[in-house]
Structures are given as structure tokens and as C-alpha cells.
Amino acid sequence: MLEIKNLHASVDDKAILKGIDLTIGAGEIHAVMGPNGSGKSTLGGVLSGRPGYVITEGSVHFNGKDLLEMEPEERAVAGLFLGFQYPVEIPGVSNAYFMKAAVNAWRVARGEPEIDAMGFLADIRKAMEALELPTDMIHRGVNEGFSGGEKKRNEIVQMQLLKPKLSILDETDSGLDIDALKLVSNGINALRSAERSFVLITHYQRLLDYVQPDHVHVLAGGRIVRSGGEELARELEERGYGWVTGEAA
Amino acid sequence: MNSVALDTLENVFESGAWPSRERDWRAQALAKLQHEGFPTKRQEAWKYTDLSDLDETPWTTATVSEDAVPDVALLPDTDRVVYINGIFDAARSNLGELPAGVELNPEKLTAPAQAPVDAMSGLNIALARHGLYLHVPAGVALPRPLEILNLTSDGAGGGMHHVRHQIVLEQGASATLLDQSLSHEAAALSTQGWSIELAADAALNFTRLQDTAQTHKAVDRLHATVADGGELVANLLELGARPGRLDLHVTLDGERASAQVNSMLYAIGKSHVDHQIRIDHRAPNCVSRTQGRALAQDRGRVVLDALVHVAKGADGTDSEQQLASLLLTPGAEANVKPELEIYADDVACAHGSTIGRLDDDAEFYLRSRGLSRDEARALLTQSFVRPALRQIPAAFRATVKRHLETRLPGAAAMENFA
């Protein structure tokens, strides 16, 4: 599904990613953990095509295609989704209009007809109800006036509607209370399948109590310094990052 | 004064064969122009809009011609008066049955309600031959929107034309007016003047759409007075010409009169568009709202000056002014100025102005969900201008959408623009 080889990236001439190797197979859930400033969000940004990063070395292939050559919207409709750490508020563009345009862009890319308005409204209503978001938000501006937790849940609503092949969730769990965390986890688990993969970028092990990862990686200083199974996350929770990053140093 | 234009204007005026009863006020208006000369950048109101090259052109009167006029998608279910190069065109006009007592005359000009306030309105009053005269009696509502098309033909290059409209809505009357100015590539000068009087509780929704060529100069002026409880909604879209200029002056003259002015300017290519808006609160408890949205792209330039003046004694004034501008590409320019002058005590006046670019984070967010760059930018631009388009009547929305879409790649796929 995704093959990252020796990926180096910098921002404003400062090297952030210093040689990432990571292979994600179909149906797998990978957790990428690490202390602040380790490059976790940069990895999400680089994969989704956020402007501002310079790739200095390495390659990324997504289902055989050179991901780094693709525009952000081309990556999206190829099936890649980034759940934002800080979802953007866009007053004046309604959630409904935005998401319908997005869903149709994905459908058109797959050679499917555009969704009809009624069918779309039924889908978005169902997804919002599942995340316990008030359905009147459908017609409000994108994330406009949403609380931090509501914005994160709205990311999961979008993921539910788009049904990506690969979802990269950048600290979607941060700032959520325990009830919201469960809703978000349910949303992720509901999409889990043999064809879909997830990268959960997270600071804490908490989310992994609800979404069981196949692999856990620790990112520190722009490199993956340790990989393991879900037991690694628990060990990190107990012993702190110093244990692995110290070991790496 | 050394001006080729003013010298030739004298001849143009003298050869006008004006009815003798019109000669006095026309001559006075011409004298105003001759005395002041064309506006220069030294005048505060013309600081950003340069008309000095008018001086160098020996302007002639654009004549009625059968050459190409701009294509207009005709709206269904409207009454329509068409002017080509300032002359009423009966063949292209379409007037259905109007309610009893409504007087509509597309060729009638009466003496101006007030003397010309500046040189350009002097030019308009002196030389306008035709114009819409509309009088709607008390309590009557026009059954359909009334469309005014002000067209410049292909052969009008080097020529000028003028129309002047007079609109009176008596007590409790109401109307919807749609005004479009369009041209091809002719290098022409046009002026259009409106005098609008709304009696007590009369209501007018007026929409102007100026989208002439960048070789065209459109210099227009609208005066409106609103009596007790009257309501004026003015949707002003300035999309073309260089310059495309509109001076709007609304006087709220009776208690509880209201004015909502929605100004949208979009300068693209080399166009230069300019709205000068002035709202005078002269009576107590009047309401005014100004929404300005200015967009500039390429080498385009937008100017938006909006003044709210609250006279002594206009207590209970409720006024809000929101002006925002967006620079879509480097090299574009916006000059936006909100102004408040308050001489009454008990008032609630708010104003604000912003200038900015499209938000990169918002653009990336939309693209990360699969929208193309053009679609994302069109959607963000659309959300920016929407507050200025909300009061455009349904009959005119598709027209407005079409004019905006040509400027916004990616917008064609969009649903409601307003």
C-alpha cells in the first residue's frame, strides 16, 4: 500500500525527517509515536502534500505510484486521507457543500457517477450521528465555531464518507475526552478492513487501547528508532520516551 | 484650459439640437464641466482613479448603429428597456402590461432634481439624450423585475454616450430593477446617472452589474433619497472597465428609512473599478448597512471608499459598515477606506475593514480532500464575496453567477454563488 524509503525532508533548510523507512501493507494499522518535535506531523504533512516541505532524499510509493510527484488533490482521490491535527475553519463554505464536492471528486476519479443530493445527505447525517455531532452542523461553515473535540470528530466523519484506502490520522486523539475518544475509535474500527490501512500518529498510548495496532513505531530525531508490536506502546507508556530515544542516542 | 476634449465637447453640445426647454439646464451642466475640467488625481475623491487621459481625446457622440452589440442572455419574465450607445432601442426592448397608473417612458428626460455635483455628472446631464423615467404610484408593486440594459456597440470606439434615469416610487410602492452595462472591445466612454426617490414606505431593490471591456470607461452616479420607512437595497457589482466608477449617494431623509448597500468589486487583468459610497443619515432612527467585498487579481486595482455621515439630530441611527478586500495575485492592488462622520449623540455605528489573501491553510485543507487548486480557490473566493451577494434578487442570480464564473476557474461546478 505505502512504501517509504530513506525519506528526508526539511522545512526552511532545517532537516526534520532524516531517513524514514516504513512499509505499510493493506489492512494494517501502524501507530507512529514519539516525543514532541520528533517529526511525526511532518511525516503526515509530507505524505499528504502540504506545501512548505522540501524533500531532499528518498521516495514514497502509494500503490505503486510515486506519491511525491502528485498534487495534494491527486493523492486524496487516489485514496489517501489526512486527519488534521488542527482542522481548519472555513466560514462561508458549508460542510455539506464541501463534503459533497470531495465525495464526488473521489467518485469521479474512480470512474463512478456523482452521488445524488439525497443519498449524500443521508450518508453525512448517518456519519454525524454516529460521531454524536449535531446534524445542524451539516449546513454550517466547515468547522466554523466547532469545539476542538467537534473538529476532530468531524475529521472522522469526513473519513467515513470518503472511505480512504490509507488514512493518516495526525494526533486525532489529542484534546479528546474519554467519550469522544471512544467515538473516534469506533469510527476508525468501523472502517477497518483487509483493504484499508491506517497510520495513527499519536503522542499517547491511550488511543491504542481502543484501536489495536499491528505495528508500533517510535519516531525520534527524524528517524524511526524502534519498531515493535502493540506491547511496545504499553512499554513506552510505562517507561517514557527517554527509554528508546536515550537508547537511540 | 488646454483640453482637446473640452473644446470638442462644446461642438458636440452645440450640434445636439436639444429642445429649447432643456437648453438652460443642459448649458449649466456643461458649464460645470468646463469650469472644473475633468477630475484629476489631485482631487480627494479621484485620488486613485485617473481620468486625466479624457482630456486628450476628441470625444464624439457615439451614434446609433446597427453594428454588433454585446450578447445578453435575456432573462425570462422581466420587463426590459435597452439603450444602445445611449439611445433607446425599441426593437430590443420588451415591455409587458404594467399596472394602472405606472408611468414608464424610456425616452423622457426631465430637468435634473439637483444641479450637477461634479464635472462628470455635468457631462452626463448636459449630454444624456435618453433615459428611463419611471413613476410608480402609491401602493403599486411592479409585477416583474425591470431590466435596464446599457450597451456599447462595437462601432462606438472613440465615442461617448450617456443615459440618465429618473425613478420615483410613491408611498408604499415597490419595484425591482436590474441594470446591466456591457460592451465589446470598443474604447468608449459612457456615463449613466440615476436619480431615485423613495417616498414613505416605498421599497426598491436595485442591482447594477457593470462588466464592460477593459478599453471602456464607465463613470456613473446614483443619487437616492429615502423617506420615512422607505427601504433601499442596492447591489452594486463592478466587474469591468478601466475605470469602472460608481458614486452612490443615499440620503436617509425620513424617520426609520433604511439602506442596504452591497458592493462587490472585482478587478482582473488591467481593469480598475471604484465605488464611492456615501450614506447620509439625516433623520432619526434610520438604519444603514454597507457590505463591501473587493477583489483584485493580476494588475487589477480596486478602490472602495465608504462614508457614513450622521447629521445632528439623527439620533437612534443604527449603522454598520463591513469592508473587506482580497488580493488574489501579487501585483494586484486594493485601496479600501471606511469612514464615519457622526454629529448626533445617540447612535450605534460600527465599521471595520480588512485586507488579505486567500488562506493557504484553508486551500490545502480543501485540496487534501480532493478539490482541485482552482476549485479550492474558487470556493474560498466565493465564500469571501457571498455576504455582498445575498440580496441579489432570484431573477438575476444566474446572470451574476455567469459573470463571476468567467473570472474564477473552478467556479463553474459550483451551485449557488450567492
Chain A residues whose CB is inside 8 A of the B380 CB are 90, 93
Which pLDDT value is given to residue B157? Answer: 82
H or E element at residue B336: strand B333-342
Residues with pLDDT less than 50, chain B: 418
A102: nearest CB among B369, B383, B384? B369
Inter-chain touch B367–A76, beta carbons under 8 Å = yes
pTM of the entire predicted model: 0.88
* pLDDT in the model for residue A248: 47
- What order do you get walking across the sheet with A166-170 strand by strand? A80-83, A166-170, A197-202, A29-33, A215-220, A223-228
Is there a single domain that holds both residue B141 and residue B41?
yes
B387 and B296, same structural domain?
no
Degrees (nearest 5) of the Cα angle B175, B238, B242?
140
Q: How far apart are CA B405 and CA A170, in angstroms?
A: 36
Q: Of the residues B310, B337, B357, which one is the last residue of a structural domain?
A: B357
Using a CB–CB cutoff of 8 Å, tell me whether A116 touches chain B: no
DSSP-assigned letters across all residues of B291-305: EEEEEE-TT-EEEEE
Same domain, yes or no, for B49 and B140? yes
CB-based contact A76 B375, cutoff 8 Å:
no
Q: How far is CA B200 from the centre of its chain?
A: 24
Are B77 and B218 in a shared domain?
yes
Q: Do both B281 and B377 map to the same domain?
A: no
Q: How far apart are CA B240 and CA B263, in angstroms?
A: 14
Chain-chain contact of A50 with B413 (C-beta, under 8 angstroms) = no
User: B397 and B329 share a domain?
Assistant: no
Same domain, B362 and B335: no
User: Measured between CB atoms, does A106 come within 8 Å of chain B?
Assistant: yes
What's the Rg (C-alpha) of chain B?
21
pLDDT tens figures, B360-382? 999 999 999 999 999 999 899 98
Note whether B326 and B378 are same-domain residues.
no
What is the per-residue pLDDT for B414? 62
What digits encode the pLDDT tens for the residues B211-226? 999 999 999 999 999 9
Q: Give the model's pLDDT for residue A249.
A: 40
Residues B270 and B389 in one domain: no
Q: Which residue of B has its CA nearest to A141?
A: B383
**Chain B nearest C-alpha distance from A159 (Å):** 9
Bridge partners for B136 per DSSP = B169
Cα of first residue to Cα of last residue in chain A, in angstroms, is 31
ipTM of the complex: 0.96
Number of domains into which chain B is organized: 2
Contact list in A for residue B357 (CB cut-off 8 A) is none
Task: Say whether residue A140 is in contact with chain B using an 8 A CB cutoff.
Answer: no
- Distance of CA A228 to CAs A32, A36, A168, B336, Å? 11, 20, 19, 59
User: CB distance from B354 to chain A under 8 Å?
Assistant: no
Residues of A with CB below 8 A from B369's CB? 76, 98-99, 102, 105, 158, 162
For residue B27, give the 3-state DSSP assignment.
Answer: helix
- B391 shares its domain with B348: no
Asked whether residue B160 falls in the same domain as residue B280, the answer is: yes
The predicted structure's pLDDT at residue A170: 95
Domain hosting B403: range is 358-418
pLDDT tens over chain A, length 249 residues? 999 999 999 999 999 999 999 999 999 999 999 888 889 999 999 999 999 999 999 999 999 999 999 999 999 999 999 999 999 999 888 899 999 999 999 999 999 999 998 999 999 999 999 999 998 999 999 999 999 999 999 999 999 999 999 999 999 998 899 999 999 999 999 999 999 999 999 988 889 999 999 999 999 999 999 999 988 988 888 888 888 776 544
Task: Sort out which chain A residues have CB atoms less than 8 A from B365's CB and list them.
Answer: 84, 87-88, 90, 142
End of a domain among B341, B357, B373?
B357
Ramachandran region, residue B390 (left: φ > 0; alpha: ψ -120 to 50; beta: rest): alpha
Cβ of B390 under 8 Å from any chain A Cβ?
no
B309 and B365 assigned to the same domain: no
pLDDT for res A233: 87
Which residue of A93, A101, A106 is in closest CB contact with B383?
A: A93
- Check residue B415 and give its pLDDT: 61
The domains found in chain A, sorted by start residue, are 2-248 (3.40.50.300)
Report the interhelical angle of A95-109 vs A148-162 (nearest 10°).
Answer: 30
By C-alpha distance, which of B188, B145, B406 is closest to B297?
A: B406
The 10s digit of each residue's pLDDT in B100-156 is 999 999 999 999 988 999 999 999 999 999 999 999 999 999 999 999 999 999 888
- Cβ distance of A73 and B372 shorter than 8 Å: yes
Any CB–CB contact under 8 A between B371 and chain A? Answer: yes
- Asked if A96 contacts B416 with a C-beta cutoff of 8 angstroms, the reply is no
Q: Hey, is the C-beta of B358 within 8 angstroms of any chain A C-beta?
A: no
Burial class (CB in 10 A: 0-12, 13-18, 19+), A117: exposed
Q: Which of B342, B357, B372 is the last residue of a domain?
A: B357
Rounded CA separation A14/A37 (Å): 12
